[in-house]
Amino acid sequence: MPTRRAMLLEKVGSPLRLVELPIPQTGSDEVLIRVHTCGICRTDRHIIDGELPHPKLPLILGHQIVGTIEQVGNTVTSFKKGDRVGVPWLGRSCGRCRFCTTGRENLCENALYTGYQRDGGFTDYCVADARFIFPIPEAYNDQQAAPLLCAGLIGYRAYRMVGSAKRIGFYGFGASAHILTQVARHQGKEVYAFTRKGDSKGQAFAMKLGAAWAGSSEDPCPVPLDAAIIFASVGSLVPVALAALDKGGTVVCAGIHMSDIPSFPYSLLWGERVVRSVANLTRKDGEEFLALAPQIPVKTEVTVYPLDQANRALDDLRMGKISGAGVLQIRSGP
């Protein structure tokens, strides 16, 4: 039986283990993908650490997948063998619940997520629902394309929540922020980048990408912000970001997990300030962002690791050692 390599999570809290598994079978509405690259994400860390409950176990992580289609199910008409595609976090929605039928499939009550309830891309081959994958823009190679599929797509959904805000603060300057800085600058907005204390490298990176200012999250912002997006999973940043907002401003919490938000005085919220979260993505988000990215063009900075070094990559992500986005190189493209 043909096999594939995979970095497998067998128990929450344990390192991933390199194993050989059978190549999965393809359902009628699915495609079999030969994986070229897969981005790593803080969500992968949250799953390993048990901060996201009830993952499918054993589990293959990874939800920023780029590869070529090897086989299509018998009802698939939108893709063919040889197409280069991307697989995002949203692996399937039901299409029937009150959220799906009102254009909010990101809140689907019966959704399945790639690398969480469906096996993901830390492997040679994966299966995906053909209705929830995207063609990859030709302007991007496999490594550059992978971060667009979560850091880009969910970051873009969070960015749209700030509306016409002119001055935007990004708290946590990693994969999403380095992509969204380019989008914001292209649209004439000012970016204020907040990093970990002492992260001079991250601050220099933000300034290189066109940020108007960069400093520690403990530093006062030099101007009142119209909006702030928190990419770090640190709940204590919510009142910090609120304190940096002008009246009528919005704080968007972009992560799927965040530590507890401490209490704060009502005066920080008063003045019609808003705190809101962003959950997952819709296929419309993907279509819009993947059309926009090459027009700017967004350029992703990546640190590349081989598949068998996935544990080291995830540790580097935890420690803030990755500039831009981390990507696992599974195989070369065709």
Each residue's pLDDT, cut to its tens digit, for the chain (334 residues) gives 799 999 999 999 999 999 999 999 999 999 999 999 999 999 999 999 999 999 999 999 999 999 999 999 999 999 999 999 999 999 999 999 999 999 999 999 999 999 999 999 999 999 999 999 999 999 999 999 999 999 999 999 999 999 999 999 999 999 999 999 999 999 999 999 999 998 999 999 999 999 999 999 999 999 999 999 999 999 999 999 999 999 999 999 999 999 999 999 999 999 999 999 999 999 999 999 999 999 999 999 999 999 999 999 999 999 989 989 999 999 854 4
Note the pLDDT of residue 334. 43
Note the pLDDT of residue 81. 97
User: Which has the closest alpha carbon to 38: 126, 153, 138, 131?
Assistant: 126
Q: Is the peptide bond before 297 cis (omega within 30 degrees of 0)?
A: yes
Note the pLDDT of residue 332. 54
Domain with CATH 3.90.180.10 in the chain: 3-150+281-329
Chain CA centroid to CA 301, Å: 14
86-111 burial by CB neighbour count: b if 16+ within 10 A, else e?
Answer: bbbbbbbbeeebebbeeeebbebeeb
Note the pLDDT of residue 298. 97
Tell me if the domain spanning 162-277 has CATH number 3.40.50.720. Answer: yes
User: Which has the closest alpha carbon to 298: 324, 261, 327?
Assistant: 324
Phi–psi pair at 143, nearest 5 degrees: -65, -45
Distances (CA, A) of 60 to 123, 192, 236, 300, 318: 7, 36, 31, 25, 19
Q: Which CATH number does 3-150+281-329 carry?
A: 3.90.180.10
Residues near 51 by Cβ (< 8 Å), separated by ≥ 6?
257
Across the chain, which distance is largest between two alpha carbons, in Å? 64
Query: For the chain, what is the radius of gyration of the CA atoms?
Result: 19
Domain with CATH 3.40.50.720 in the chain: 162-277
* 68 half-sphere exposure, CB direction, 13 A CA radius: 10
Cα–Cα–Cα angle for 90, 116, 329, nearest 5°? 85
* C-alpha span between 225 and 1 (Å, rounded): 58
